[in-house]
Amino acid sequence: MIWEKVLEKFKELYGEGGDIGVYFAPGRVNMIGEHTDYNGGHVFPCALTIGTYGAARRRDDKKLRFFSMNFSHLGVIESSIEDLKPEKEAGWTNYPKGVIWAFGEKGMKAEHGMDLVLFGNIPNGSGLSSSASVEVLTGFILKDLFGFEVSNQDLALIGQYSENRFNGVNCGIMDQFAIAMGKEGHAIFLDTATLKYDYAPIRLENAKIVISCSNKKRGLGDSKYNERRSECESALAQIGEAIGINTLGDLTEEQFEKYKAAIGDEVLRKRAKHAVYENQRTIKAVEALKKNDVARFGELMNASHVSLRDDYEVTGVELDTLVEEAWKVDGVIGSRMTGAGFGGCTVSIVKDEAVDAFIDKVGAAYREKIGYAADFYVVEIGAGPVKLA
């Protein structure tokens, strides 16, 4: 069991005794609805059975001690709850530190430090939200260790707040919400403008969800993520004057086509078009699933990727290769990039009998074109954060 190894490492580093808790928070994959979450649109993510494990124990002093089994060469990194600020050299610890800081900003200041060991089996930098998984996990641990009264939805909002304000990544709510609110066997149909949500069962008879990881590393803060968000805000300001809307997610395709000339810049118009059309695709995709029309869902996934490639321009040669090679394989129902883009992963729905051929063919073509291997994960839909021991 993975969690037992994490607990063992914790005791090796910090000693036995005291009340040591062991916890898990999932990663997430977004089935459709990309770059809509900060545009007031809908998203359709689900939690995964891979994620982040943590062992933690409250301390009597103000010291924070962090250790990641994924970055064991960095050793134990020490900090203090008295001096929480983002530091480039602090690396991954800025995520748990940011959540501790955000709890304090929300009136829930931890008066004691803690010892923490983490291990994630989400591929780092893959776009499956390892950072949001760490944020939700940290919040869940703080809730347990210090008795803070917060709901899982609160944990999502605090995680987003910490990533925006502490780590400087202007992310929407989707990642943290999907992780904190995950439900086994279901995806979450979330209206990001209102946080109204429904669980929709994912019934894939004779098919699997396959994640293809490009192994191109990316950092959200370093990417053009914030630039795309800014472009959409500029487009909204222009079209909003013409039609009086609060978000691009308020527009139908017909309304956009009628008023798009109000956006003077062609690039901004393309960005807005993606946000509007992707939101409508997401609504249609959930309707298709409710009718058990997985083929239609797959068509909308494919259209989503084309829009992300051509209008939003966030794919790149690695993700395009994975998707375009997937489309060539018999038995692939749909395939698209998932996450922020600029590297990371694709998500595909593949018929059971085609999974092995999919991995072989896409993997070989990718290595030949890109020069290094992709990794493939056949995943299950899991639940939200949990205390394991």
What's the mean pLDDT in 76-98? 89
Distances (CA, A) of 105 to 86, 164, 166, 302: 15, 13, 11, 42
222, pLDDT greater than 60? no
| H or E element, residue 13 | helix 2-14
CATH of domain 207-379: 3.30.70.890
- Catalytic residue among 115, 175, 250, 311, which? 175
**pLDDT for position 169:** 85
Half-sphere exposure of 75 (CA within 13 A, CB side): 2
**pLDDT of 196:** 97
pLDDT of residue 124: 67
**3-state secondary structure at position 56:** strand
DSSP 282-308: HHHHHHHHHTT-HHHHHHHHHHHHHHH
How do residues 352-380 score in pLDDT, each as one tens digit? 999 999 999 999 999 999 999 999 999 99
**Nearest Cα residue to 52 out of 176, 236, 194, 198:** 176
More confident residue, 90 or 178: 178
Going 150 to 180 to 126 to 321, the CA torsion angle's sign is negative
Q: What is the distance between the alpha carbons of residues 156 and 136, in angstroms, rounded to a whole number?
A: 6
- DSSP codes joined into one string, 192-260: TTTTEEEEEE---TTEEEEEEE------GGGSSHHHHHHHHHHHHHHHHHHH--SSGGG--HHHHHHHG
- Please enumerate, as own/partner, the contacts of 148-155 that have beta carbons within 8 Å and a separation of 24 or more: 148/103, 148/108, 150/108, 152/180, 152/181, 152/384, 152/385, 153/177, 153/180, 153/181, 153/195, 155/180, 155/385
Mean pLDDT on 280-298 = 96
Under 8 Å between Cβ of 52 and 120: yes
Cβ(191)–Cβ(360) below 8 Å:
no
Mean pLDDT of 261-283: 98
Closest C-alpha among 8, 113, 140 to residue 58: 113
175 is catalytic: yes
Query: What pLDDT does residue 219 have?
Result: 56
217 pLDDT higher than 80:
no
Q: Determine the average pLDDT of the residues in 84-105.
A: 91
Convert the pLDDT of each residue in 126-162 to its tens digit. Answer: 778 889 999 999 999 999 999 999 999 999 999 999 9
CA 132 to chain centre: 6
Closest CA to 65 of 20, 13, 19: 13
Q: Does 245 score more than 80 pLDDT?
A: yes
Residue 220 has pLDDT above 60, yes or no: no
Domain extent listing, the chain: 2-202+383-387, 207-379
The pLDDT score that the predictor gives to residue 188 is 98
Topology (CATH level 3) of domain 2-202+383-387: Ribosomal Protein S5; domain 2 (3.30.230)
pLDDT of 388 > 90? The answer is yes
Would you give the DSSP letter of residue 123?
P
Residues contacting 237, CB < 8 A, separation 6+: none
Mean pLDDT of the residues in the chain = 94
- Tell me what the mean pLDDT of segment 58-68 comes to: 97
CA nearest to 388, candidates 1, 111, 34:
1
The whole-number pLDDT of residue 221 equals 46
Question: At 57, is the secondary structure helix, strand, or coil?
Answer: strand
User: Phi then psi for 9, rounded to 5 degrees?
Assistant: -65, -40
Share of the chain above pLDDT 90, in %: 89
Asked if residue 123 has pLDDT above 90, the reply is no
CA 138 to CA 85: how far, in whole Å? 16
pLDDT at res. 340: 86
Say which amino acid occupies 53.
Answer: Y
pLDDT digits (tens, 9 = 90+) for 305-352: 999 999 999 999 999 999 999 999 999 999 999 988 888 899 999 999
